[in-house]
């Protein structure tokens, strides 16, 4: 049977038409996307922002769209015109570039039949983002939470739902300048990597973030302000919603000024601080609870080998009033609850600058365990206070153990604490003793037991100090030279030893703590002054008479 040549020609023609139609459809879709991008940018930004896209690749049939060299810029002239017309408005100044974007495997057929968008992945490579914005002090609820809640409605005109297996942002650099009351806070984030898994934007979604997991990594972060005195930075950050973990490395608070410059600018006494922590880990972090209810919740915060250096300048006047821990906690608007805090092998150094000398006190190899760090009234009360246990080495030689219990939500300061100190020379107290005209020459403490309760700004308790071989010197306040006659007189009033098994003629004396807080005393200074009221009469039984 002879074949009809027209059948083959028709089939070839149909094939050519289909191929041409496919290419035409693909070309039209690419052209249409570019036009929509331009139109969208012009309509939604009122001409303030412009969007440009470099080379693009589109394959309608397998749902792949690739674009390179994406740039968003702000027209500064139009931005300034808006600011002049509406002085209260502060639209963000945005400068952004993206190396490339890939949208992979969009299910076009599902969208045509169900108006639901499904795709495998969206990948952003090397974004660089710079934003200058004004801090909004009028919004009390979470802007992020409002934005998340509005996503389904924003998507509704285009699609009923959006499902993406993965969105990744790779090697991003972000710069934020936030203007607030004549000051600018500057934040820099480098080498940022974001991964959002199993995204499902739907009103019926039970996930507040519309995704199963969020993983955030960044190589470096720092923040400072024009009026600020310190730089806050970290060299590594990791967060995972699914594993409920946050970890920071090389977290530091570093001064931007010398001590002299810092204290020259301070009208009142304020500590000069330097802090560094090689590693800090938070486990059991609940991201959904934070976003949905503004409640920061975690199981454990662990801090390893942190170092804190404080310098206080006594040449500066005290402020009118120092805030206390319970007052500071009550001022925090958002709720927080960290069940356990663990600090391992940390060091604290406190330097006090006096008119003629600097005195350093250190607490070395400090280990801290704390429970119930919260401002949730359902978890914090007098029966369930913040419970703190500390073990350290005072001046790197004397072991200290302390337990402190503080109801953090009490209207007035309440503290119960006990402490023991063993095996240290009394001369180590010279740098911190308030009465500088009295210097301890020799003496050795075997054990000190402190038991104190603070109620309504009044500290009461006892001090039992076991010591021997105590000798003191009285100094001139102006020259710091020894006053020999007064030293001889002081020796008549000073207990050379205070031991339970000592001489019956010098019986063991227990010191009584009684101290009313001055509003200018900060928390730990208040506790130290309270301790002195029991410590000094123990060492000098006739101290009250001498003071008069």
For residue 507 the two structure tokens come to 């019986």
Rounded Cα distance, 180 and 136, in Å = 9
Residue 45: pLDDT band with limits 50, 70, 90:
low
Least confident of 51-55, 420-424, 498-502: 498-502
Is residue 176 very low, low, confident or very high in pLDDT (cuts 50, 70, 90)? very high
Is 414's pLDDT higher than 80?
A: yes
Confidence of residue 137 (pLDDT cuts 50, 70, 90): low
- How far is Cα 350 from Cα 274, in angstroms, rounded to an integer? 11
For 283-313, the pLDDT digits (tens) are 999 998 998 888 999 999 999 999 999 999 8
- The residue whose two tokens read 């608007």 is 333
Q: What is the mean pLDDT of residues 388-414?
A: 94
Contact 98, 125 (CB under 8 A): yes
Residue 94: which H helix or E strand, with range? strand 93-104
Residue 503 has pLDDT above 70, yes or no: no
The larger pLDDT score, comparing residue 181 to residue 100, is at 100
Instruction: Say if residue 543's pLDDT is above 60.
Output: no
Look at residue 38 in the predicted model and tell me its pLDDT.
56
pLDDT, tens digit, 9 for 90 and up, residues 61-110: 677 888 888 888 888 888 888 878 887 777 888 899 999 989 888 776 66
Scored b (16 or more CB within 10 A) or e, 310-325 reads ebbbeeeeeeeebebe
Helix, strand, coil abundance in the chain, percent, nearest 5: 25, 50, 30
Does 271 have pLDDT greater than 70? yes
pLDDT per position as a tens digit, 346-388: 999 998 887 777 888 899 999 999 999 999 999 999 999 999 9
Q: Where are the beta strands (DSSP E) in 377-532?
A: 386-394, 398-406, 414-425, 438-455, 458-474, 511-516
State yes or no: pLDDT of 40 exceeds 70.
Answer: no
Question: CA-to-CA distance for 546 and 509, rounded, in angstroms?
Answer: 18
- Model confidence band, residue 443 (pLDDT cutoffs 50, 70, 90): confident
pLDDT of residue 544: 52
Answer with the residue of higher pLDDT: 473 or 453: 453
Q: Which residues contact 31 (CB under 8 A, 6 or more apart)?
A: none
pTM of the model: 0.83
CB 131 within 8 A of CB 93: yes
Report the C-alpha gap between 303 and 513 in whole angstroms. Answer: 34
Report which secondary-structure segment, H or E, holds 41: helix 5-45
**For the chain, counts of helices (H) and of strands (E):** 10, 24
Q: Give the Cα separation of 167 and 156 in Å (integer).
A: 20
How is the chain split into domains, by residue range? 34-228, 247-411, 412-548
Task: Flag whether pLDDT at 21 surpasses 50.
Answer: no
Averaged pLDDT score across all residues of the chain: 83
Structure tokens that stand for 177 in this block: 């300048």
């Amino acid at each position: 049977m002879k074949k009809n040549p027209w059948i083959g020609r028709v089939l070839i023609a149909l094939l050519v038409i289909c191929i041409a139609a496919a290419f035409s459809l693909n070309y039209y879709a690419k052209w249409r996307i570019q036009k929509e991008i331009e139109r969208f940018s012009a309509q939604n930004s009122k001409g303030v922002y412009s969007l440009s896209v470099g080379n693009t690749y589109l394959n309608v049939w397998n749902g792949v769209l690739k674009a390179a060299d994406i740039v968003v810029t702000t027209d500064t002239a139009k931005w300034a015109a808006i600011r002049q017309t509406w002085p209260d408005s502060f639209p963000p100044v945005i400068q952004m570039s993206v190396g490339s974007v890939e949208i992979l495997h969009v299910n076009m057929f599902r969208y045509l039949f169900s108006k639901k968008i499904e795709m495998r992945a969206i990948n952003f490579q090397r974004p660089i983002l710079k934003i200058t914005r004004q801090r909004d002090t009028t919004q009390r609820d979470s802007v992020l939470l409002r934005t998340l809640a509005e996503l389904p409605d924003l998507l509704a005109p285009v699609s009923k739902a959006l499902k993406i297996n993965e969105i990744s942002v790779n090697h991003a650099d972000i710069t934020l300048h936030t203007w607030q009351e004549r000051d600018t806070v500057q934040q820099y984030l480098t080498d940022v990597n974001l991964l959002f898994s199993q995204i499902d934007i739907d009103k019926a979604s039970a996930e507040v973030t519309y995704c199963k997991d969020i993983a955030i990594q960044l190589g470096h972060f720092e923040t400072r302000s024009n009026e600020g005195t310190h730089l806050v930075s970290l060299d590594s950050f990791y967060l995972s919603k699914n594993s409920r973990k946050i970890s920071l490395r090389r977290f530091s608070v570093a001064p931007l000024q010398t001590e002299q410059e810092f204290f020259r600018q301070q009208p009142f006494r304020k500590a000069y601080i330097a802090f560094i922590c090689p590693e800090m880990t938070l486990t059991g972090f609940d991201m959904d609870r934070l976003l949905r209810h503004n409640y920061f919740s975690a199981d454990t915060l662990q801090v390893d080998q942190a170092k804190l250096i404080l310098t206080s300048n006594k040449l500066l006047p005290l402020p009118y009033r120092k805030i206390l821990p319970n007052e500071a906690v009550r001022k925090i608007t958002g709720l927080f609850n960290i069940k356990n805090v663990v600090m391992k092998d940390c060091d604290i150094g406190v330097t006090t600058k006096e008119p003629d000398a600097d005195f350093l006190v250190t607490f070395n190899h400090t280990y801290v365990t704390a429970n119930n760090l919260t401002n949730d009234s359902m978890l914090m009360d007098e029966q369930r206070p913040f419970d703190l246990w500390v073990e350290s080495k005072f001046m790197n030689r004397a072991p200290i153990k302390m337990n402190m219990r503080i109801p953090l939500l009490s209207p007035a300061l309440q503290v119960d604490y006990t402490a023991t100190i063993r095996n240290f020379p009394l001369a180590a107290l010279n740098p911190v003793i308030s009465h500088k005209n009295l210097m301890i020459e020799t003496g050795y403490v075997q054990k000190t037991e402190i038991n104190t309760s603070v109620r309504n700004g009044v500290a009461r308790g006892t001090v039992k100090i076991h010591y021997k071989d105590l000798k003191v010197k009285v100094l001139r306040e102006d020259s710091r030279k020894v006053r020999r006659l007064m030293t001889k007189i002081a020796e008549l009033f000073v207990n050379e030893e205070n031991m339970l098994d000592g001489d019956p003629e010098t019986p063991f004396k227990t010191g009584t703590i009684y101290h009313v807080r001055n509003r200018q005393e900060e928390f730990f200074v208040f506790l130290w002054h309270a301790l002195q009221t029991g410590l000094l009469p123990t060492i000098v039984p006739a101290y009250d008479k001498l003071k008069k």
